[in-house]
């Protein structure tokens, strides 16, 4: 899944970015409000982590602009301000959650996972597609009760398809949600990882879950249709 991080404290931004990438997220980072607004308007993401106090353009202005333009990406406000008034202002401006600095990285991860589940309208932390189970908390994958080991990028791809289970996801969708802005869309890396996933998820099982829809993309399908 892809995250836009807008934070002017570069040391903190680098720590958060590195930690998120180690957890399998792709992260686009901006260090001022104008750059951040450009990113959220031009690069799709699954969650925006947004500081309120930013140079050039503050976080509330970015948030208000996003919502006025119909950008519905979940926003987690990350700020040193902890007064009730600031929280109310942020939430009333369209924020989905609020985390006060300093914070524990584990809590940040939990809030991100919750926002992604909410966006996908999934309540359970374990996604089930047929006999496949994907635990989005500890990233444990099982099929038919057997544990499957995936690389970070393989998991990111499977997770995105799982959040869109029984729906066709295009190559563009996958690229935009599991890679950052520097990815070469003309490479064959995506096809390589799809093959890796098929070998790990479907090989040895009679029922195949990952399907190619010619000219459209891929689908992780648990239904019998």
* Final residue belonging to a domain, choices 70, 91, 120: 120
With a cut of 90, say whether residue 183 has pLDDT above it: no
pTM: 0.85
Range from 12-16, 70-74, 117-121, 144-148 carrying the lowest mean pLDDT: 117-121
Model pLDDT for residues 22-36, shown as the tens digit of each residue: 998 999 999 999 999
The 10s digit of each residue's pLDDT in 184-218 is: 777 788 889 899 999 999 999 999 999 999 989 99
Total domain count for the chain? 2
Q: Is residue 25 located within the same domain as residue 66? A: yes
| Per-residue model confidence (pLDDT) at position 162 | 94
Instruction: Answer yes or no: is 225 within a domain.
Output: no
* Cα–Cα distance measured from residue 95 to residue 92, given in angstroms and rounded to the nearest whole number: 7
More reliable by pLDDT, 87 or 127: 127
Q: Name the pairing type of β-strands 97-100 and 141-143.
A: unpaired
Q: How far apart are the first and last CA of the chain?
A: 27
Give SS3 for 129: strand
Q: Of the candidates 120, 140, 161, which is a domain's last residue?
A: 120
Question: Tokens 């635990």 label which residue?
Answer: 135
* CATH code of residue 96: 3.40.50.2300
Please provide residue 84's backbone torsions phi and psi, each rounded to the nearest 5 degrees.
-60, -40
Where among 99, 120, 141 does a domain terminate?
120
Would you say residue 38 has pLDDT above 70?
yes
Q: Structural domain of residue 17, as residue ranges? A: 2-120
């Amino acid at each position: 899944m892809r995250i836009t991080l807008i934070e002017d404290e570069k040391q903190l931004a680098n720590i958060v970015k590195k930690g998120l990438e180690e957890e399998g997220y792709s992260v686009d980072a901006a260090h001022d409000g104008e750059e951040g607004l450009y990113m959220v308007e031009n690069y799709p993401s699954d969650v925006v982590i947004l500081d309120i106090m930013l140079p050039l353009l503050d976080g509330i202005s970015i948030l208000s602009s996003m919502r006025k333009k119909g950008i519905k990406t979940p926003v987690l406000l990350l700020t040193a301000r902890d007064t009730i008034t600031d929280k109310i202002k942020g939430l009333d401006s369209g924020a989905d959650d609020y985390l006060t600095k300093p914070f524990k990285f584990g809590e940040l991860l939990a809030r991100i996972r919750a926002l992604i589940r909410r966006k996908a309208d999934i309540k359970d932390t374990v996604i089930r597609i047929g006999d496949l189970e994907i635990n989005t908390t500890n990233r444990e994958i099982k099929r038919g009760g057997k544990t499957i080991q995936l690389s970070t990028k393989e998991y990111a791809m499977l997770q995105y398809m799982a959040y869109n289970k029984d729906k066709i996801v295009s190559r563009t969708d996958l690229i935009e949600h599991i890679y950052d802005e520097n990815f070469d869309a003309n490479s064959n890396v995506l096809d390589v990882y799809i093959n890796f996933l098929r070998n790990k998820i479907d090989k040895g099982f009679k029922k195949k879950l990952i399907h190619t829809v010619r000219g459209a993309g891929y689908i992780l399908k648990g239904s019998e249709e």
